Structure 1
Amino acid sequence: MLHQKFSLGLVKSYHPGGGTLISHLLYADDVLIFTNDGRLSIRSIMATLHRYEKIFGQLISPNKSTIFFPPHMSLARRNDLKGISNFEEGSWPCIYLGVSLY
């Protein structure tokens, strides 16, 4: 479902400083989704997650989910996007499966 959203342009891809395109990574029961900071992208991701919940009966836990922002993003913008996702804000760098992510 995520691949389809990215392929159709409903979720905008994240390009780290001219590097390789990153959309999402799946590992065991974890999902890392990379996107620009657009409201439409966040809304589309959340719609996909809610559809997943309905189809498979597995609930997304907002208190176990984290949203990360670039350091230059305004507080108002951060709060807007956190309100759409209902996820907690994380900070960089973070540790995922024992690896530092920047």
Structure 2
Amino acid sequence: MFYQAPGLIRVSHLAYADDLMIFTTTCHQNMELLRDFLRAYERVSGQLINGSKSSFIVGHQASSLQTQAVQDVLGYQLKHLPVTYLGVPLYKRNRKACLFDPIIFRLRDLLQGWAMTNLSHGGRLALIRSVLQATPLHLLQVIHPPKSVLITIERIFNGFFWGSYNGRKHIHWSSWAKACFPVVEGGLGVHSLADYVRAFSMKL
């Protein structure tokens, strides 16, 4: 089986560095051919496939017998969508806010690591520009996020700038929207994530 998006070419496999994704059917013969191919690759290249990190996904129409047959032949674990590939969640149907939970958890983990530091507003602004804003950009280039996700992330930025993080509560003297104004207009000169998303969409 090939993957084919509407109006695009058929795809039999995707490869990047040492990550490989193969599209095929679940018939027993194809599974045996795939297994033999992977074993031949190991013999010729001397590189071993990490079975503990390998997995397979079946379509919703696959029966339990077909799923078990794939697992018996290949020996890989079954996974369900969404899964992460090259740092990006693979999913089916409409995008959901929960796909962005890992990046939100990552941002909060960063703030947790900075909890004991005594940062000035200038230091917090520098960290927002150099670290926090850069962290979600890879994902935002690939998946257009729901508006609620952008609001959540920018609330994290704004809270951190005004000192409201890790259980601390401080007054927010300005909204993040105003912080994204140019410095000459009274803002902090940072870019809103919505601007990044629009820029990425124009390039596609």
Q: Report what 2:131 is aligned to.
A: none
Change (3 A) 1:38 1:17: farther
Contact 2:14/2:22 (<8 A) preserved: yes
* Correspondence 1:72 to 2:70: no
Provide the rounded CA distance (Å) in 1 between the counterparts of 2:25 and 2:10.
12
Greater relative contact order (CA < 8 Å, ≥ 6 in sequence): 1
Give the drift of 1:63.
Answer: 1.0
Superposition map of 1:85-100 within 5 A: 85-100=74-89
CA contact (8 A) 2:27 2:66 kept: no
More strand, by proportion: 1
Assess, with a 3 A threshold, how the Cα gap between structure 1 residues 22 and 77 changes in structure 2: closer, same or farther. same
Partner of 2:2: 14
Residue 57 (structure 1) aligned with residue 25 (structure 2): no
TM-score, normalising length: structure 1: 0.78
Structure 1 position 29 matched with structure 2 position 18: yes
SS at match of 1:40: helix
Higher normalized helix content (fraction of residues): 2
Of the two, which has the highest radius of gyration? 2
Question: How many residues are aligned here?
Answer: 90
Question: Secondary structure at 1:37's aligned position in 2?
Answer: coil
Cα displacement (A) at 1:37: 1.8
Once the two structures are TM-superposed, the CA of residue 41 in structure 1 deviates from its matched residue by 1.4
Runs of 5+ consecutive residues of structure 1 not aligned to the other structure? 1-12
SS in structure 2 of the partner of residue 100 of structure 1: strand
Letter in 1 for 2:2: Y
Q: In 2, Cα distance between the equivalents of 1:69 and 1:97? A: 20
RMSD: 1.7
Question: How far 1:101 moved relative to its partner?
Answer: 1.2
Cross-structure match for 2:70: 81
Of 43-52 and 17-26, more deviation after overlay is shown by: 17-26
Quick one: percent identity of the two aligned structures? 30
For residue 169 of structure 2, what is the aligned residue in structure 1? none
